[in-house]
Amino acid sequence: MFPNYNLVLSITDGKFLKCWALRGMPKLWRYRPEPMKKFEKYLMLFFGSFIDLFPLVGTIWGIVWFAKNPTEKVALSIALFIVSGILLLLMIIFGEVIIKKGCKKCANFSCSMNNVPEEIINQFLEKNPKIKDAWEKSLKEK
Kindly indicate the confidence band of residue 4, based on its pLDDT and cuts at 50, 70 and 90.
very low
Cα–Cα distance measured from residue 110 to residue 96, given in angstroms and rounded to the nearest whole number: 19
**Rounded Cα distance, 11 and 4, in Å:** 11
Residue ranges of domains in the chain: 5-129
For residue 50, what pLDDT is reported?
75
Q: What is the pLDDT of residues 21-53, one digit of tens each?
A: 767 777 777 777 777 778 877 877 787 777 777
pTM: 0.55
Per-residue DSSP letters for 38-96? HHHHHHHHHHHHHHHHHHHHHHHHHHHHHHH-SSSSHHHHHHHHHHHHHHHHHHHHHHH
For the chain, count helices (H), then strands (E).
5, 0
